Amino acid sequence: MLNPVKVGLLGLGTVGGGTINVLQRNAQEISRRAGRGIVVTHASARDLTKPRLCHTDGITLTTEPFDVINDPNVDIIAELIGGTTLAKELVLKAINNGKHVVTANKALIALHGNEIFAAAQQKGVMVAFEAAVAGGIPIIKAIREGLTGNQIAWLAGIINGTSNFILSEMRDKGRDFADVLNEAQRLGYAEADPTFDVEGIDAGHKLTILASIAFGIPLQFDKVYTEGITQITREDVGYAEELGYRIKLLGIAKRTEKGIELRVHPTFIPVQHLIANVNGVMNAIVVRGDAVGQTLYYGAGAGADPTASAVVADLVDVVRMLTTDPENHVPHLAFQANALSNVAILPISDIESIYYLRMTALDRLGVLAQVTRILSDCGISIEAIMQKAPPDDVDQVPIVLLTHAVLEKQVNQAIAQIEALEGIHGHVKKIRVEMLEQ
C-alpha cells in the first residue's frame, strides 16, 4: 500500500481533537476504505500546554499555524480554528502552497467561499467543507451529488442544534426561553455568547451554503433574512400545539417565479411532518426535488465526533481522488476490493434479540404459570406481560409478552415447549423487537 497521506491540522479544540481521535480509532477501517492511511503529522494550537481530549504522540505541535501550511511534507490542511480572519488567510495561503483543504468553518465558506473556491480552482487543489453544514449528516454530498438529476424546488432545515434544543425544551416542559437558554449554556449546548445560535446567524451561514449548492447561485449571506427565537414565548408554543403545529427555527431556501427566498426564522410546521418530530440538539434537512419528491436527512449537527465524522469523510474523498485509479476512485463496495473481510454471517438462531410472543391459552387455571415457568427454565426473563379477560362465552385467552434480550435459539426452545402444553391452543407467534438504541 502507498505511504499514508499527511494531514496538517489547524486547531486542537473540540473538532480538532475529535478528528484526531476518529482517525486514530478507526485507522484500519479508514485505510481499507481510502486505499491508503491518513495520518495527522502536524498540528497547531494557540496554547500547547492546555490539556487535550486526544493523544498527540507523534504529531509535530506548534503554536504557529503558518508553519503547518508551509511545511512541504503536509498534503492536506484541515482548518478547524473557526472565525473568518485568520482562517481565511490560512486557507488562501494553504491553497496557494498547493495544499488541499478540508474545513468545518461555515462562516468562512458562507462569507468568503466564492473567493476561496476561485483560488482553489486556479491552483488545481480541492476544498471540501461537508462539516460546515449539519455536522455529521452528509447533506452537502446528498444535494451536490445525490440529487443532481433534480430541479430543487425548496429545502428547509433544522440546522442549529442549540435553538432546536431550546424550542424542544420549551415545548416539552412548558419552560421560558431565558430559563432554557441558561440550562443549555450550563450543558455546553449554547455558547457564553449565544447570539449566533439564537438569532439565526449560524443557521443563516449554513443556509447560504445549502442554497448555493441546491440552486447553483453564488454564496450571498448578506441577502439572507435572519430572525431568531428570542421572541418566542410559552404562549406561542402552546397555541402552535393547539392548532396542530410545532415551532422550529428553520432555514428555508425556496425557488419561486419571482426569485429565490432565503430566510431563517421561527416557523410553524405541521406536527404530522417527520421534521416536526426532530427534537433536542438534532438536525434535519428536508429537500424537495422535482424528480425525487421530498427527501429528509437527519443526524447530529454538532459535537466533537459527529463533526469529525464529516471532516474525515472529506479527507477520505480527497485521498480517494489523489490515490486511486479514476474509474474506481470510490470502491464499488465502499472498501477497496482487496480489503473486504470474511467475517462470519450469523445464522438466525444465533442472534440476540428481544421478542414479542403471542399465544392463545385455554382459560384454565395454571396455564400462565406453566408458560412463565418454561420461559424461566430456558433462561428468559419477561419484560412485560398482558393477559386479557376473555368475553364471557369464550374460553380462549390471548397471552402477550415481551422478553428481555436473549438468543433466538433459547426462545425457539421455549416456544416448542409452550406449544406442547395442553393448555395452549395453536402456535406461538414470535416477532423480534429492536430498540434502535446505541
Provide the annotated active-site residues: 206
Q: Which is nearer to its own copies, 193 or 412 (CB)?
A: 412
DSSP 55: -
**Residue 281, C-beta contacts closer than 8 angstroms, at least 6 positions apart:** 161, 162, 164, 165, 189, 300, 301, 302, 303
Verify binding: residue 215, its own copies, rule CB under 8 A.
Answer: yes
Stretch that binds its own copies, among 45-53, 75-83, 191-199, 300-308 (CB under 8 A): 300-308
Q: Does the annotation flag 17 for ligand binding?
A: yes
Q: Which is nearer to its own copies, 49 or 342 (CB)?
A: 342
Which x/- pattern, by CB under 8 A, does the window 264-293 give for its own copies?
A: -xxxxxx--xxx-xx-----x-x-xxxxxx
Verify binding: residue 352, its own copies, rule CB under 8 A.
Answer: yes
215 class by beta-carbon count within 10 Å (0-12 exposed, 13-18 middle, 19+ buried):
middle
Verify binding: residue 212, its own copies, rule CB under 8 A.
Answer: yes
User: Which positions from 81 through 140 interact with its own copies, judged by CB under 8 A?
Assistant: 113, 117-118, 120-121, 124-127, 130, 135-138
Q: What phi-psi label fits residue 85: left (phi over 0), alpha (psi between -120 and 50 degrees) or beta?
A: alpha
CB of 253: closest distance to its own copies in angstroms? 10
User: Which positions from 323 through 342 interact with its own copies, judged by CB under 8 A?
Assistant: 325-335, 337, 339-342
CB of 160: closest distance to its own copies in angstroms? 16
Closest CA to 397 of 371, 425, 377: 425
Q: Report residue 217 as a C-alpha cell.
A: 447561485
Closest CA to 131 of 299, 7, 313: 313
- Contact of 345 with 355, CB cutoff 8 Å: no
- Contact of 403 with 355, CB cutoff 8 Å: yes
**Residue 326, C-beta contacts closer than 8 angstroms, at least 6 positions apart:** none
User: Which positions from 179 through 208 interact with its own copies, judged by CB under 8 A?
Assistant: none
**What is the rounded distance in angstroms from the CA atom of residue 346 to the CA atom of residue 407?**
12
Verify binding: residue 250, its own copies, rule CB under 8 A.
Answer: yes
CB of 238: closest distance to its own copies in angstroms? 10
User: Which positions from 23 through 62 interact with its own copies, judged by CB under 8 A?
Assistant: 23, 25-26, 29-30, 32-34
Residue ranges for the known binding site for NADPH are 106
Residue ranges for the known binding site for NADP(+) are 10-17
